[in-house]
Structure 1
Amino acid sequence: MERLIARLWRSIRGPVQWRVMWIAQAKFMAGVTGVVRDDAGRVLLLRHRMWPEGRQWGLPTGYALKGEEFRATVVREVREETGLDVRTGRLVRLRSGYRLRIEVAYEATLIGGDLTIDPFEILEAQWFSPDELPQGLQESHRPLILGQSTPETPD
């Protein structure tokens, strides 16, 4: 039976194989976060309008577009939410196991732009020293800001 299935699989090739794989596999959204720092080592935090009351402060975050590289997602999201330009650095978090999403985070460095928030998504944007973070910060963002690894984060 295995030989028959293997022969059938090899015979369909290309787009049909991709379609079968697409139907058979799980689908995920990719949440992408940027840990943006300036030259003084401060981190950019945003107070997000759509996040739960009391936990609205967090890093610039958004979902990757179809076909978009995750590093490009960080650059796009930071620019859309703040008007700032960043350069992405190393991967600092990769987590799966959620029902419909994976989470990815990269370090990022400020390289230019003028701080202009998107008032639809963002209530406020500020630079914070890692040792003086605001009340209401998303707890999952604290280890990213402090450079602490988590079990599924590459070292």
Structure 2
Amino acid sequence: MRRLVTRVWRALRPLQSRIMWCLNAKFVVGVTGVVRDGEGRVLLLRHRMWPPGRQWGLPSGFARKGEDFRGTLVREVKEETGLDVEAGALVLLTSGLRTRLEVAYEARLLGGELRPDPFEILEARWCRPDELPEEIQPVCRPLVRGETTP
């Protein structure tokens, strides 16, 4: 039986990716950046679309189809703030929220002028890790402190 299954699978080589696509879960990927400046402060944004009382968080957004996640981070920070960053170490990779996968990277500020996108962002500020707003998303505190498991 194993030999037969192996032969059939090998014969289906041109269709294997399609078959695997149909049989496995699909995920939306949220990418977050812990953007730090030269003074060790972290960039926080008050997001317009997030729930009241929890609107403060890190720059984040969803990966586009085929996009490298580090590229997603660079693009999202630029779109939301006007700043240029370089993605660094991966600090979080988790799933479990239905069909959503969460990825977070450390990021280094390269330059640019802080100009929050008024459609998405109500306010932007640089904060020291020990001076985070009360209304920050719970997952952000451990990320800002450098803990990899929130």
Give the TM-score of the pair, scaled to structure 1. 0.94
1:4 aligns with 2:9: no
1:106 maps to 105
**What displacement does 1:2 show?**
2.6
**What displacement does 1:96 show?**
1.5
Q: Which runs of 5+ in 1 are unaligned?
A: none
1:63 maps to 62
Distance 1:37 1:116 in 2: 16
**What displacement does 1:98 show?**
2.3
Is the partner of 1:133 in helix, strand or coil?
A: coil
**What displacement does 1:6 show?**
1.4
Distance 1:58 1:149 in 2: 16
Distance 1:124 1:2 in 2: 60
Aligned AA for 2:18? R
Is the partner of 1:30 in helix, strand or coil?
A: strand
> Runs of at least 4 residues of structure 1 off by over 4 A?
none
Deviation by residue 1:99-155 (Cα, 9 ceiling, x = unmatched): 11111000001001111111111100000010111120001110000111317xxxx
1:86 maps to 85
Identity of paired residues, percent? 66
Q: Which runs of 5+ in 2 are unaligned?
A: none
Aligned AA for 1:9? W
Distance 1:20 1:149 in 2: 34
Give the TM-score of the pair, scaled to structure 2. 0.97
Is the partner of 1:139 in helix, strand or coil?
A: coil
1:138 maps to 137
Equivalenced residue count is 150
1:54 aligns with 2:53: yes
